[in-house]
Structure 1
Amino acid sequence: MLLRWLLASACLCLIRIAGADSLYEPSDPILQLELDTFDAAVYNSKKAHFVEFYSSWCGACIGYAPTYKQFAKQIASWKPFVEVVAVNCADDKNMPLCRDHSISGFPTVKYFKPRSTSKNDGVVYRGNKYELDKVERDIATFVHDDYKQMNHELLPMFEPVDNSKTLADMWNTAGPANFLGVMVQENPASIAWALAMNFHNDRNIRVVLARPQHPEVSKQLGHDANNRFMLFHRGESTPVWTSPSDAKWTDIHDKVMEFVTHVAAPPKGEKTPAVEPQAPAPAAEIDMSQYRVELADMKSTISYMLFQEIARQQVVEGEDLAGLKSWIHAVSKYAPTTTPIRRLLYRMDQWLQNQGPSMSYEDWTRKLEEVHTDLGNPLPREIEWVACKGSKPHFRGYTCGVWVLAHAMAAEAYKQEANNATFKPVEEFLDPFYHFVVKFLSCEWCAKNFRKEAVNFKMKEVATREQLVMWLWRVHNFVNKRLSGYHSDDPKFPKRQFPPPVLCSQCYTPDGAFDEEEVLKFLVRYFSDIRQDSVQAPPEYKVNEYKDGKLQAVGARHLNPKFAVHAEKVSNLEEAEERLRKEIDASPQRQWRDIEGYENLSTSGRTQFYFIWLMVIGIVIVFAYCKYRRNRSKFWKTFYYHNDFKLCPWSSDSTGRKYAA
C-alpha cells in the first residue's frame, strides 16, 4: 500500500495539464505571475498590484482580455504606483494559488495594497471592470487612501494646494516644467489623483489639485469650477485650455498630451481619403471535424471537471454540496464512456452521497486519487481535445466538451428511460446540470447567462425525455447565436446553428425552419454515435436515405466497436468485485501468501518471521556441531586411510570400511 502511494505521488509530480496558454503576450504591459513568482512580486512590495485571475479557456476571460490590455496600456505610466498583473488559473500548477485566494469564478480581479503581506490583503474589485474610466479612478482612490494611511512620502502630491497659494506659488513647485495643470475637484478627487500619478515622471508638466473655493480658481472659472481642468503655459496668466466638467480623466490626458508633445489635432475641414469598397470574402467552407462526437473529448471533459473544477473549491457545503451530489450521480448514471471511467464515477458517487454537511478539497482530491489509481488511471491527466480543439489553445476546449457531454448524456437518458414512466428530467438531469454550471463552472459570465437562459427557456417545465433533449438543443443554439462574432468565437470554427443542413438536410422544412421531430431523431442518433479511435479513422460506409423514392441525404457510418454503455451495470461489477475480494481475504491461501510476502507484513509480523528463520538456522548449527563431536576421535583414522571425512557414523561393516549413507 505504501509503495502504491509513493508511485502515485511520483506520477502526480510529472502531471501537467496541457492547453493552458496565456491570453496575454510578453509585449503587453501586464506582469504575468505564477505560483512560484506571485508571493515575491506582490507581497512586501512598495507598489500596489491589480491582479486578474483568469482561465484561458473561459469565454468571459477571452472577451475581457482586450479590455484588460487596453486598461494596462492606459495606466502604463502608473507603474511606480500600481502594477497590472495576470494569473492563468487554467495552468495546473497555478491551481493551488487560485484556490488559496478563493477564486470562485473567472475573471476575478483583486487589488493588493502596497506592503501587502498575505492573501488576506487582497480585495476583490466589485465595480464594473469593463468601465475603464471608473476602474482607473477607483484605483487612484485606493492608492490615495493607502498612502494616506501609511503617511507615505509621496502623499503631498495627492493633497490640494492651500488656498493662500497663488498661481506663481504653484509654478514654483513645477520646477523646469513648461506646463502647469490645475485639476479642480472636491473629495474624492479621483481624476486629480489619476492625473497626478500619470504625469508624475513627466518633466514637461506639473499637475496639482485645487478646491473650487481657491481664489485663483474662482478668478478663472467662477462658480462653475468643480471637475474642471485648467492647463497653463509658462509665462501666461490665463489657461491655454480648460476642460468641460464632464470630461473623463483619459480625455484630459489626451488633450494635455497634444499640447505637451506639440501634436495638434487635424483640421476639421480635412477629409479622410476615400476607401475603395472591398469585395465580400467568400463564405468559409464548414470544417466537419468540429461536429464529431469524440470519446477523447468526453474523457478530457470529465477529467478536467473532477480534477480541476471541483477541486478548485476550498470547501463545498450546503446547497453547493447537494448540487454536486446530484450532478455526480447524473454523470455516473448517464455519461456514455468506458467501463473503468463509469466505475470511477460510481465509486465517487457512492462516497460523495455519504459526505456532509461539508467537504474539503483535500477530502475530494484524496479520494479521487485513491479511486483513480485503484482503477488503473482511466482518465487522462494531460488534457487534449480532438473535435473540440480550437485554432488556438484558448478557443473552444472545455466549454465545448461540457456541451458535448451534456448532449450525449441527454441522448443516453432518452434511451435508458424509455420505459420509465416515473422519470423526472428536471430533478434527475436538468437541475443537477444547472447547479454544476452555476456553482462549479468557473466561467462566471457563463454561469450568469445560464441562469437567465434557464428562466427564459422555462427549464422547470420540462416534463418528458423528448423535451429534455430538445431543451438542451434550443438553449445551446441560443448561446451560439448570442456568442457569434464575439471575442471567444473561434474564427476557424465560427458558431452556427446546429445541425447545419450539410449534416442533416431532413432537419429543415422547405422554408428553412427546423423540423423539430426530425431534429429529435437526429440528436439521439448523432450523440449516440461516439468515435473511440481519435488517431486512426475507423472504416466507414455510406448510407443513402430516401423518401418517396427520392434521395434525401447521404451520411457516413463508422464500423468502430460500440460501447454498449450500460450492457453491464457498473453496480453489478462493483458488487461482484467486492464479494471476490472478501472471499480472497478470508481464504487460508491468502493468509499464507501474506506471511510469505514479508514486504506486506507489519513490524511485528516481520519480527516473528525473522525469529523463526533464526531458530531453524540455530538448530542446523547445533546438529552439525554434535555430529562433529561424535566423529572427532575417528577423524585422523579416517584421514589416514581414506583421506576423507564424513560426519556420518561408521557402518557396521568394518572389514569393508564402508560408510553409511
Structure 2
Amino acid sequence: METVALQCVAYVVLFHGVLGGVITGDDALYTSDDKVTILNVTNFKPTVSISSNAWVVEFYSSWCGFCKRFSPTWKDFAADINAWEGVISVGVVDCADDNNNPLCREYEIMRYPTLRMFSAFHSGKLGIELQKDSIDEMRHGVLGFLEKEQMEGRGSPWPNLNPYRSSDLKNLWKDASPEVVYVIIIFEEPESYIGREIILDLHKIKGIQVRRATTHNEALSRLLGVAFYPCLSVVKRDLNSFNLKLVDNTRKSFREQIVSFLESVGIADVNVVKSVSHTGVLIEKVEISSDRMADSAVAGTNLQQPKVYYQDLLGAFAYSLQHEIPLHHHITGQALGALQNYVKVLRKYFPLDHAGNIFAEKLQDWVIVKNDNIQGKTFEDQVKILLVESKFKLPVLQNWKGCRGSKPHFRGYPCSLWQMFHTLTVNSVLINSHNLHELKPLEVLEAMLGYVTHFFGCEDCAAHFKQMAADTLHLDVHTPDDSILWLWRTHNKANKRLKGDITEDPKHPKTQFPSRNACPACSDSKGVWNEEEVLRYLKRFYARNNINYSETTKEDSKEITEFVSDDVERRKLGWDFSIADISLCVVLYISSAAILILVYIKFVLSNRYKKKSYVFDLLGKV
C-alpha cells in the first residue's frame, strides 16, 4: 500500500504539472527582463513597504483578458521610466496565484488590473490608484504623485522636482554636491511635464544637476536671457551661463540636446543617458468600446467543444468561492445581496453530488442570515469549515479539461465561468420543466450579473458584461427559454468581437457556437440561426445528464488517465478508496469466499463420513 500511495503522489504531482495551469517562464505575463519587479506575498512588504523610494504596482490576474492586453503597455511604461529607479520602481503582483490571496485582500484589490502608487515607507497604507491610460498619461500621473510626495516632506533624497523660484544664481549651488559642474535649467510653461521628466531621466549622471523654472520666474528668465519657452540654460560654477538650442518641444529633443552637450564637455557616465528607454508608444484610452474592448475574460472561451466537463464546472465553482469572493475585505450592501443570490442559484441548479449539495445548502443557510456585513476572510474560513463538515472536496488547483488552453494563461477560469453560466441557465429550465410558470426568467441571469458586477475580477470585462445586460437583458428575456438564448447570443457576440484579439488562444480560435458540424439544423449555409433548433441543442448540450466526468484528454499519458479515472470513480462511489483498492478488495473477497466454500465442503463431507461410520458401529452392536 505504501508503494501505491507513493505512485499516487507522483501522479498527483504530474497531473498538476500538466494540467494545473502553473504559469512559469515564457508563459508568464511578466518576467524580470521586462524592467519590472515580480512581487508576491513573501517579498511585497520587505520590498515595497519599507522602501526608501516610491513604487507603482500593477495588481493583475494571469487569466484576465484585459490584463493580457494591457501587459505590453505596462512593460513599455516600466521601460519608459526605468531610469527613474531610486526614486520610483515598477512592480507586478499576480492575484490569480492563490498564495497571494491574503496580500491582494489586504490591499483591497477587487478588480484587475489595478494600479497603485505607494509612498516611501508607506507602512501598510493602501496606496493611491493610478488610472490605466496611455504611457504618457500614466507617466504624468506618477510625476504628480512624486511632486506631491516632496511637497509633503517625503522623498527628500530625491532630485528636486519643484520649480526654482529664486533669481539668485548662487542659490542654485547650495544643495549641489561638490562633483556637480553644471546646473541645467529647463524653462517651461507651468503645466509642462518635460522638466520633471528630464530631471528624473538624468538624475543618475554625476557632474550635473537639472532644475526646472516656469514662466512665472520672470526675473530669472531676464537674467539668463531667455526670450522664449521652452528653453535650456546651462549655468557653470563661476555663474557664467549660456543657452542650448532645441529642435522641438519634446522630451526626446531635450534629452538628446543635453546628451550632446555632455559629450562635448566630457562628462562621465553619459552612457547612463543613452540607456534611458522612451518607446513613445501610446495605447488606446482604457474605456468600454463596442468594437474592441470586449469582455475578454468573461468571453474567454471557444465554445466549439464536444462536451461540458464536470472538471471545468467544478473549477469555476471552486475558484469563485475560494478565491474571488474572499478577496473582498468587506461584503456589504448590494454586494452582499448579490452573494446571497449567487449561492442560492448554485444550490438550486449546479450539478452537485450528495456531499456537494450538503455543502451548498449549508453555505446558503450561513450566507442568507447575514444581513449586514461579511468579511472576505470570514467567508473563506467558513467555506473551509463547511467543506470538512459536508465531506465535500473542492479542487485547490483548477485542472482544466475542456477549458485547457495551449498555454496556462489562455482560457481557463473565464472559459469555465461561461460554461457554468450556460449550465445554470439550462438546468434551471430543465429542473423546473413541470412548473415553468413558477420559474422567474431572470433568476439565474440576474444572479450572474450580480456576481460579475461585484466579484468578477476583470474590471473592464465586468463593465462590458454589464453594458450588454443593460442594453438587451430586460428587453429580450420574458420566458425561461429566453434566458438560455440571451446568454448564448451574448457569448457569441463577445466571441465575434474577440476573434483575432491578443487574448485569443491561437490553438482555440473564437468561433460561433454551435458549428454546423455540431448542429446542422441550427443554422443555414449563410450562417442564419434557427433559434428554435439552437434552443433544443443548448438544452441537450448543457443538460446535467450530458456532463462528462472524464478528467483526461487523449494526449495525456496512460498513467495520468488511469489515475484520473480512478479519482472520478471514487467520487461517484462517495468512498475514499481508489479503483485499485476496490479491485483488491474484490479479489480478496472472492478468494475468501472460495476458501470458505472449500472448507464448508470438506467439513460436510467429513461429517457425513463420520456419521455413516457411527451408524455401522451401532448396527453392529445391535
Q: TM-score, normalised by structure 1?
A: 0.68
Q: Find the counterpart in structure 2 of residue 192 from structure 1.
A: 195
Q: Find the counterpart in structure 2 of residue 531 from structure 1.
A: 548
Which moved further from structure 2: 400-409 or 152-161?
152-161
Shift in Å, 1:307: 0.8
Q: Find the aligned partners of 2:103 and 2:136 in 1 and give their Cα distance.
A: 29
Q: Find the counterpart in structure 1 of residue 126 from structure 2.
A: 122
Task: State the Cα deviation string for residues 163-211 of structure 1 (Å, max 9, x = none).
Answer: 53569989x9798889875422355664322220111013486532122
Task: State the Cα deviation string for residues 238-268 of structure 1 (Å, max 9, x = none).
Answer: 4231533xx4x466546766777799xxxxx
Q: Find the counterpart in structure 2 of residue 202 from structure 1.
A: 205
Q: Find the counterpart in structure 1 of residue 276 from structure 2.
A: none
Shift in Å, 1:340: 2.5
Answer yes or no: is the 8 Å Cα contact 2:60–2:94 preserved in 1.
yes
Query: For 1:109, which of 105, 109, 115 is the aligned residue?
Result: 115
Q: Find the aligned partners of 2:303 and 2:490 in 1 and give their Cα distance.
A: 22
Answering whether residue 148 of structure 2 is matched by residue 133 of structure 1, we say no
User: CA 1:455/1:115 → structure 2, altered by over 3 Å: closer, same or farther?
Assistant: same
* Superposition pairs of residues 57-456 of structure 1, within 5 angstroms: 57-118=63-124, 121-125=125-129, 127-150=130-153, 152-154=155-157, 157-162=160-165, 164-165=167-168, 181-187=184-190, 190-203=193-206, 206-212=209-215, 213-214=217-218, 217=221, 222=227, 225=229, 228-230=230-232, 237-244=242-249, 247=250, 249=251, 252-253=254-255, 290-456=305-471
Shift in Å, 1:375: 2.9
Which moved further from structure 2: 49-58 or 332-341?
332-341
The one of the two structures with greater contact order (alpha-carbon pairs below 8 A, sep at least 6) is: 2
Q: Find the aligned partners of 1:378 and 1:151 in 2 and give their Cα distance.
A: 50
Shift in Å, 1:84: 0.6
Task: State the Cα deviation string for residues 315-365 of structure 1 (Å, max 9, x = none).
Answer: 211211111111111111111243332332222112222222222234322
Task: State the Cα deviation string for residues 291-322 of structure 1 (Å, max 9, x = none).
Answer: 53111101111111111111111221121111
Q: Find the counterpart in structure 2 of residue 588 from structure 1.
A: none
Task: State the Cα deviation string for residues 122-146 of structure 1 (Å, max 9, x = none).
Answer: 3232x53222212212212222222
Q: Find the aligned partners of 1:514 and 1:258 in 2 and give their Cα distance.
A: 66
Q: Find the counterpart in structure 2 of residue 26 from structure 1.
A: 32
Shift in Å, 1:513: 1.9
Letter aligned with residue 296 of structure 1: Q
Query: Secondary structure at the residue paired with 2:478?
Result: coil
Query: For 2:41, which of 31, 35, 55 is the aligned residue?
Result: 35
User: CA 1:536/1:384 → structure 2, altered by over 3 Å: closer, same or farther?
Assistant: closer
Answering whether residue 517 of structure 2 is matched by residue 502 of structure 1, we say yes
Query: Secondary structure at the residue paired with 2:186?
Result: strand
Q: TM-score, normalised by structure 2?
A: 0.72
Choose 1 or 2 for highest CA Rg.
1
Query: Secondary structure at the residue paired with 2:43?
Result: helix
Q: Over aligned residue pairs, what C-alpha RMSD do you find?
A: 3.5
Answer yes or no: is the 8 Å Cα contact 1:480–1:496 preserved in 2.
yes
Task: State the Cα deviation string for residues 559-598 of structure 1 (Å, max 9, x = none).
Answer: x9xx9xxxxxxxxxxxxxxxxxxxxxxxxxxxxxxxxxxx
Q: Find the aligned partners of 1:260 and 1:290 in 2 and give their Cα distance.
A: 63
Answer yes or no: is the 8 Å Cα contact 1:395–1:490 preserved in 2.
yes
Answer yes or no: is the 8 Å Cα contact 1:303–1:380 preserved in 2.
yes
Answer yes or no: is the 8 Å Cα contact 1:102–1:314 preserved in 2.
yes
Query: For 2:498, which of 477, 483, 498 is the aligned residue?
Result: 483
Shift in Å, 1:148: 3.1
Shift in Å, 1:422: 2.7
Q: Which runs of 5+ in 2 are unaligned?
A: 1-15, 265-270, 272-300, 555-564, 569-622
Query: Secondary structure at the residue paired with 1:83?
Result: strand
User: CA 1:398/1:207 → structure 2, altered by over 3 Å: closer, same or farther?
Assistant: same
Answer yes or no: is the 8 Å Cα contact 1:289–1:387 preserved in 2.
no
User: CA 1:287/1:333 → structure 2, altered by over 3 Å: closer, same or farther?
Assistant: closer
Answer yes or no: is the 8 Å Cα contact 1:55–1:61 preserved in 2.
yes
Q: Find the aligned partners of 1:137 and 1:27 in 2 and give their Cα distance.
A: 24
Q: Find the aligned partners of 1:448 and 1:159 in 2 and give their Cα distance.
A: 39
Q: Find the aligned partners of 2:60 and 2:508 in 1 and give their Cα distance.
A: 23
Shift in Å, 1:220: 5.9
Answer yes or no: is the 8 Å Cα contact 1:507–1:514 preserved in 2.
yes
Shift in Å, 1:230: 3.1
Shift in Å, 1:527: 1.7
User: CA 1:216/1:500 → structure 2, altered by over 3 Å: closer, same or farther?
Assistant: farther
User: CA 1:396/1:259 → structure 2, altered by over 3 Å: closer, same or farther?
Assistant: farther
Q: Find the aligned partners of 1:229 and 1:476 in 2 and give their Cα distance.
A: 55
Q: Which runs of 5+ in 1 are unaligned?
A: 1-14, 264-285, 538-559, 564-661
Shift in Å, 1:484: 2.3
Query: Secondary structure at the residue paired with 2:56?
Result: strand
Q: Find the counterpart in structure 2 of residue 642 from structure 1.
A: none
Answer yes or no: is the 8 Å Cα contact 1:507–1:518 preserved in 2.
yes
Query: Secondary structure at the residue paired with 1:422?
Result: helix
Q: Find the aligned partners of 2:468 and 2:75 in 1 and give their Cα distance.
A: 30
How much identity, in percent, do the aligned residues show?
26
Q: Find the counterpart in structure 2 of residue 45 from structure 1.
A: 51
* Superposition pairs of residues 565-576 of structure 1, within 5 angstroms: none
Shift in Å, 1:402: 0.5
User: CA 1:80/1:413 → structure 2, altered by over 3 Å: closer, same or farther?
Assistant: same
Q: Find the aligned partners of 2:231 and 2:69 in 1 and give their Cα distance.
A: 34
Q: Find the counterpart in structure 1 of residue 282 from structure 2.
A: none
Answer yes or no: is the 8 Å Cα contact 1:341–1:379 preserved in 2.
no
User: CA 1:391/1:229 → structure 2, altered by over 3 Å: closer, same or farther?
Assistant: farther
Q: Find the aligned partners of 2:457 and 2:378 in 1 and give their Cα distance.
A: 20
How many residues in Structure 1 have an aligned counterpart in Structure 2? Answer: 494
